[in-house]
Amino acid sequence: MKPVKVGLLGLGTVGTGVVRIVEGNQEHLSSQVGSPIVIERIAVKNSEKARDIVVDPSKLTTDPWEVINDPEIDVIVEVMGGINGTKDYILQALDHGKHIVTANKDLMALYGSEILAKAQEKQCDVFYEASVAGGIPIIRTLIEGFSSDRIVKIMGIVNGTTNYILTKMSQEGASYNDVLKEAQDLGYAESDPTSDVEGLDAARKMAILGTLGFRTNVELQDVSVKGISGVSKEDIAFAKRLGYEMKLLGIAECQNEEFNISVQPTMIRAGHPIASVNGVFNAVYVYGEAVGETMFYGAGAGAMPTATSIVADLVAVIKNLKLGVNGLKQIVPYKTKKLKSDEDIYFKNFLLLHVDDKAGVLAKITQVFAEYDVSLDSVVQQANPHNPDAEIIIVTHNASKASMNKVLRHFENLNVIRRIKSHYRVEG
């Protein structure tokens, strides 16, 4: 049996995991695809670097173009990361008729539509399961499992770093800065954690999920983003008191062919399945018109979970290769993009206000809500021995984003309100 030859771009943590799985599970993989799978060439930054896996030195190169241009290679597996140079490698590989497996969420979020269009033109596969939620097969599920249904909502924890931080803050009452430092020491957070904690990583993943779920071209700038750096342990304590957990949620909703996507710290009802997803784990909740509610849970990162998704994609490419159907399963967006206006985006809100501690304050505040047609679910006024101002906790019923923005702007100029301490979306 003629082997299928694979070129690997990158031999870091995930690339090493790919090599381990391909070489360690060769009999199992070969039985599925009908031929051996051989990693023929590997592009690395430093060919002399000591590694914790034995690789034939003759297979290593520091020039990715040697891998891209090798006529013997059928499939390129890209795990090197980066955007601009990597995009050039992938487009050139597609021009050479090579199939692509990538874990690059940044690349697919920014240039996925261009890459998939090129793949369709060249009748090549581009699979990217590992770009979202690590070892959870959510992309294949959206493409194949929901092919007969219409998805109306996708809600998920798609960043393990922020989930770890919020979990520790919730369970231990620790401060954001203390837990962030711990996450960095453990390797869960980068030395520059901006992409994770400010929601950018999650936004890229939600752009990918939104594109697949709603079959329209969702761009990164279509995603409203707010990170967790402003979440205090007091906010989480208030949430728990009201029966909620705080999570950084990506939320994509579509009604009447119009959609909105956001990433933001969200208070989710403690009884909701996503509320119990803790630590570095990910979960994606999908609502279909026909199937109803489904949830997918698992490891969102790590060498072996991510490598598992990559090799699963590799197997799918090779099966298509044997059947001669490569390039026929690409999901190229076909619906016109229609973003919801703020008047059509509805959700519940949590507000914590620091106000003057005197009679009549609550009446003035509720009057503002009434003026902008926002009804209230609950209102709690309390004194705080650590705060000379009174504190008012408000949870609204579903209100339009436009109406809530008007309320917040009005509050900024209302003389009885000292400070809008916190404002969060409420789900579940």
**Residue 216: what pLDDT?**
93
Strands 37-43 and 99-102 come out as unpaired
Name the pLDDT band for 328 (thresholds 50, 70, 90). confident
Per annotation, catalytic residue among 98, 205, 226, 348: 205
Report the length, in residues, of the chain.
428
Is the domain spanning 138-299 CATH 3.30.70.360? The answer is no
Which among 282, 42, 67 has a CA at the least distance from the CA of 156? 282
Name the pLDDT band for 203 (thresholds 50, 70, 90). very high
- With a cut of 90, say whether residue 65 has pLDDT above it: yes
Looking at residue 24, the DSSP 8-state letter turns out to be H
Cα separation of 120 and 140, whole Å?
A: 18
Fold designation for 345-427 = Alpha-Beta Plaits (3.30.70)
- Mean pLDDT of all residues in 62-78: 97
Name the pLDDT band for 327 (thresholds 50, 70, 90). confident
Name the pLDDT band for 385 (thresholds 50, 70, 90). confident
Residue linked to tokens 């090197």:
80
Cα separation of 403 and 263, whole Å?
A: 20
Cα separation of 179 and 172, whole Å?
A: 10
Q: Average pLDDT over the chain, rounded to whole?
A: 94
Give percent of the chain with pLDDT exceeding 70: 99
Which among 236, 207, 210, 235 has a CA at the least distance from the CA of 219? 207
- With a cut of 80, say whether residue 329 has pLDDT above it: no
Concerning whether 205 is annotated as a catalytic residue, the answer is yes
Fold designation for 4-131+303-323 = Rossmann fold (3.40.50)
Name the pLDDT band for 98 (thresholds 50, 70, 90). very high
Strands 244-255 and 223-225 come out as unpaired
Name the pLDDT band for 1 (thresholds 50, 70, 90). confident
**Residue 398: what pLDDT?**
98
- Mean pLDDT of all residues in 240-245: 95
Convert the pLDDT of each residue in 271-307 to its tens digit.
999 999 999 999 999 999 999 999 999 988 888 999 9
Q: Would you say the pTM of this structure is higher than 0.85?
A: yes
Name the pLDDT band for 22 (thresholds 50, 70, 90). very high
3-class secondary structure for 71-140?
Answer: CCCCEEEECCCCCHHHHHHHHHHHHCCCEEEECCHHHHHHHHHHHHHHHHHHCCCEECHHHCCCCCCHHH
**Residue 274: what pLDDT?**
96
Residue linked to tokens 């950018």:
200
Buried b (16+ CB within 10 A) or exposed e, 150-173: ebbbbbbbbbbbbbbbbbbbbeee
**Residue 150: what pLDDT?**
95
Which residues, 6 or more positions from 396, have their beta carbon under 8 angstroms from its beta carbon? 348, 349, 351, 369, 374, 375, 376, 377, 404, 426
Domains of the chain, by residue range, sit at: 4-131+303-323, 138-299, 345-427
